[in-house]
Amino acid sequence: MPARGKPTPVPTPETRPYFDAAARGELKIQRCLDCGRPFFYPRPCCPFCASAALEWITASGRATLYSYTINHRPAPGFEQDAPYAIAVVQLEEGPRMMANIVGIDNTPDNLVLDMDLQVTFEQRGDVTIPQFTPAGTEAAR
Amino acid sequence: MSGPTARPANGGDVVIAGAAETDAVGVLPEHSTLRLHVEGARNAVADAGLRMSDIDGIASVSAPGPIQVAHALGIRPRWIDGTGVGGTSFLLHVRHAVAAIRAGHASTILVTHGESGKSRVGAAYGMLPPSSPNAQFEAPYGVLGPPTMFTIPLLRYMKEFGLTPEQLAYVPVAQRKWAARNPRARYREPITVEDVLNSRMISYPLHLLECCLVTDGGGALVITSAERARDLPQPPVHILGTGETFESPLISQMEDFTTSAAFRRSSAEAFAEAGISHGDVDHLMIYDAFAHVPIYGLEDMGFVGRGEAGAFIAEGNTEPGGRLPLNTNGGGLSYTHTGMYGMFLIQESVRQLRGQAAAQVPGVEVSVALGNGGMFMAAGTLVLSNRTA
């Protein structure tokens, strides 16, 4: 692990399928087989009805920019990126998740709320994490 | 106000009989975290006209936590509460203490806070385990403390309701007017909206002067029955209503970024228990780690409609001479902010209700305090009064 590099998630058994999918270039989220609702983050039971009958679905990767902040005091490992946006994106399926917005200068003018985004992936140590980029850009493979 | 079913007023049978802060707040490099707890506790017990041996219940947040604090003070409690849900924990302790005293589990409870937030002497490091949801799903994106998380909902609020950067910048301007009247406040010089907008960007859209201080300090409360307090020297502060709840441990999972469900639920419960309406409130304290939090608080408690709080503050309603005095110690933005600021909300409410505040508001009979824990994670609300109903 690189000294003071960007944090690398440590998966647990219930989050492992999410990170395994990310390594294959897929964004997977869970859906409840009883109430039918999708949710994020991965966990052992449905937050809406407490059912443990869950399935993994592949999200479309399409999302919109729900909100963000542009951080001027970088976290360890992010020194080269500052100022950088820490965003929350709304997936087409409904759930929201945190992400960085890559492939575009992180300025208030560039980052317009509700803009269309597309998932992309970043290798972080031995783990792959989803990131988002403006739809239609080069990084949106 | 929607929310829990109204219950009969509790009659204010449990009171805050002692309240005090550390001798000083600010930069205290000679004070360990434990010493801050102990100093606040000794001051509060003295303020109540009691001896430490009268205390039979203890509440505090780890670390050092209730065990360490009680041991240092020589207390042998028969009731312990270590609820730790961030900066609002002390409001929850007060709520739990009311129940404990009614149940007879304790008669005289001490609630302590001490935090070496600035000097970090004997301070706890609140690192989440690397396998926690926060560490897996937020930390990889470069979050670093409250300024990088508490701020994320704000742009969505600004877009939905048209809150302007100038209105947001007025929040610290209004609070500085209160701080100017408080000799203990860290910053007392008047500031303008321009000063705020010209201060360094910390986490867009928030500038330095829209972020709270980072200080050392502490304080404590003594809670007992109204009956017991009759023989004690300070005017009793009756606990008329209380509420507590949480919303989400991850800021990204907050349900609606324009409103805090925790603020709404906790406050509705406290107002219903107290049987009061908003017009009854003479004085208000809202946790202000950042400038937007009082805006959410005013709306989520129901003092103004959705999207109205920015204009309400900018029109002068919450500053000296305004109709709803808010954060009259200067708040976390100008007075002090140790990290878990909630104790200082309660201290100022008590001072105002006793008529002992530095920036005293005339005729305060009902004061409400809204505490925040984490980043819109948890909330606690207290309705306090110098009368019983």
Answer whether A43 touches B (CB < 8 Å): yes
Number of domains, chain B? 1
What is the pLDDT at residue B130?
84
The closest CB to that of A113, out of B131, B149, B159, belongs to: B159
What is the pLDDT at residue A139?
57
Q: Which two tokens stand for residue B181?
A: 């009247």
Answer whether A83 touches B (CB < 8 Å): yes
Number of domains, chain A? 1
Evaluate if residue A2 carries a pLDDT over 70: no
What is the pLDDT at residue A4?
66
Amino acid at residue number A9 = P
The closest CB to that of A70, out of B135, B138, B203, belongs to: B203
**CB–CB contact A68 B152 (8 Å):** yes
B132 belongs to a structural domain: no
Per DSSP, the three-state class of B175 is helix
What is the pLDDT at residue A123?
96
Per DSSP, the three-state class of A133 is strand
Taking a C-beta distance cutoff of 8 angstroms, is the pair A7, B140 a contact? yes
Closest B-chain CA to A100: B141
Q: CATH number, domain at B332?
A: 3.40.47.10
What is the pLDDT at residue B3?
45
Evaluate if residue A140 carries a pLDDT over 60: no
B204 belongs to a structural domain: no
Q: In whole angstroms, what is the distance from residue B289 CA to residue B149 CA?
A: 12
pLDDT in tens, B275-319: 999 999 999 999 999 999 999 999 999 999 999 999 999 999 999
The closest CB to that of B136, out of A11, A76, A87, belongs to: A11
B172 belongs to a structural domain: no
Per DSSP, the three-state class of B98 is helix
Phi and psi (nearest 5°) for B295?
A: -65, -50
What is the pLDDT at residue B62?
86
What is the pLDDT at residue B203?
97
B93 belongs to a structural domain: yes
Whole domain around residue B108: which residue ranges? 14-121+212-385
Interfacial residues of B (vs A; Cβ cutoff 8 Å):
130-131, 133, 135-144, 147-149, 151-156, 159, 200-206, 250-253, 257
What is the pLDDT at residue B124?
73
A109 belongs to a structural domain: yes
B243 belongs to a structural domain: yes
Chain B contacts of A72, Cβ < 8 Å? 200-204
B332 belongs to a structural domain: yes
Evaluate if residue A112 carries a pLDDT over 70: yes
Buried-state track A96-126, b at ≥16 Cβ within 10 A, e below 16: bbbbbbbeeebeeeebeeeeebbbbbeebee
pLDDT in tens, B63-114: 899 999 999 999 999 999 999 999 999 999 999 999 999 999 999 999 999 9
B201 belongs to a structural domain: no
pLDDT in tens, A63-94: 999 999 999 999 999 999 999 999 999 999 99
B72 belongs to a structural domain: yes
Interface test with B, best of A88, A113, A129 (most B CBs within 10 A): A88
What is the pLDDT at residue B385?
98
A9 belongs to a structural domain: no
Q: In chain B, which residues have pLDDT < 70?
A: 1-9, 125-126
Whole domain around residue A61: which residue ranges? 16-134
Chain B contacts of A71, Cβ < 8 Å? 142-144, 147-148, 203-204
**CB–CB contact A71 B152 (8 Å):** no
What is the pLDDT at residue B11?
78
Q: Which two tokens stand for residue B361?
A: 């508001």
Answer whether A84 touches B (CB < 8 Å): yes
Closest A-chain CA to B144: A75
C-beta atoms surrounding A60 within 10 Å:
12
CA distance A141 to chain B (A): 21
What is the pLDDT at residue B1?
42
Taking a C-beta distance cutoff of 8 angstroms, is the pair B354, B367 a contact? no
Q: Sign (positive/negative) of CA torsion B129, B132, B136, B137?
A: negative
Closest B-chain CA to A97: B252
